A and B are shown apart, each in its own frame.
Chain A
Amino acid sequence: MSRLDVRKTYKLYIGGKFPRSESGRSYEVVSATGEFLANAAMGSRKDVRDAVVAARGALAGWSGTTAYNRGQVLYRVAEVLEGRRAQFALEVASSEGLSARAANAVVDAAIDRVVWYAGWTDKIAQVLGNLNPVAGPFFNVSAPEPTGVVGILAPQSSSLLGLVSVIAPVIASGNTAVVVTSASRPLPAVTLSEVLATSDVPGGVVNIITAQTAEVATWLAAHRDVNAIDLTGVAGADGVDWAALEAEAAGNLKRVHRPTLLDGVPVEPDWTADPGLTRIRAFVETKTVWHPKGL
């Protein structure tokens, strides 16, 4: 008799722990070909609010680490991802309906994307900051700082490469994140949370909620303790009105990273393209400090 495998319970990732949804709800996740894969936790408003509390709590510590340290932690994430390539390849293949070969290429690209951002952490201030030659006897310098707690609607389609491509630039500069995963392809995100939990990323820095995007996005966009929101995941999300989310975000003047628009309609970006600095720039604030010079 063949051995019966031990299945994983897919749960949320909040504050470094793996709770079920406080709502007790779950939903069926199926593969690209419609086969049952798992019951994922269906995150609720309360889960989102708990995640924001965790992200806020982790912000001082994470933004206070040195850029060098954040780079090493991100690199560690890539290392642990690499060690679990096979598992991710299987999940990506079943979620996205890819061949094994194509899924492997996606996992490779995702690992390399994390490495790319790991190398950015201690260059961001140099590239986005500078001295300002003011007309007077003053030392004057402008440098980027993390915006704070960032809400991320992760892409609906690209369940791993797209996911790391929206998380890594946010945490590279020292922000903390509350991520709402792809609604229909959430499993690689849950597995990524296990990677994060074992990569020296402090609990609360990244919080991952599997949920129906349309249900929880509004709570995230309206939350007064969230400083910025990435609306990438509205593209292809059922029943999501991104204009309404942006309008909610205006309540506390969140920085809004709009979805990519093609003829006015949100589309998922090409995740294989050079990411550039756009996503890093979107979630930093420029601080300018003046001090007199003199004897």
Chain B
Amino acid sequence: MADALLEVRRLVKSFGGLIATNRVDLEVLDGETHAIIGPNGAGKTTLIAQFAGDLHPDQGTITFAGRDVTALAAPARSHLGIARSFQITSVFREFTALDNVALAVQAHAGSSFAFWRPARADRALRDPARAMLESVGLGARGDVVAANLAHGEQRQLEIAMALATRPRLLLLDEPVAGMGLDESQQMIRFLGSLKGRHTMVLVEHDMDAVFTLADRISVMLYGRIIATGAPEAIRANEEVRRAYLGDERAL
């Protein structure tokens, strides 16, 4: 068994009376694509937010690459190699696509206490950013202001920004949500091309995406993980069928 890149132990997070994360144990192995599925409100996004450092758990520990990161804030985790996309697309809307990615490159290119040289003429930022846009298929869209990109393109841009931080772990919160069929097929193909090169945690409702991409799947229900396993095992799991997938869905 490969080493766990992300190891979560007894994680608890509650909001008032609602226990959004209920003693969650989870291991994400180095190199795997690990999908987390579950009905709306199961606590998937809350879990991702705790992995990324946007939320801090009430109890439990999060270990990344052998290091306890439970108390670290999001920027520090980014520097250790955790990157994320958000459920609701989160880009710099006023900036061009290239500016967006260049800023992500800049975040990992030393201190930004540089007050004089124009950042937009800085090839150390622009060249890698352009290459990254190219690789997600937005090469021709670099000069377009992010707000004017199509929804699917904004999702691609967000992933380009995440990749520009050269992460070891990519947290993807519903990357194909709101996409048309063509767009989502394209995104699934792209994410497939990242498999192996990046460890990924994928929260997704689109079962096509999940079963195409995931090496292992964890099923969440009411803040708990009720099953973890290979796709075939999850497909066959009676408890999962009853709780979530539903009999009508052709698996």
A in complex with B: no
Interface residues of B (CB under 8 A from A): none
Interface residues of A (CB under 8 A from B): none
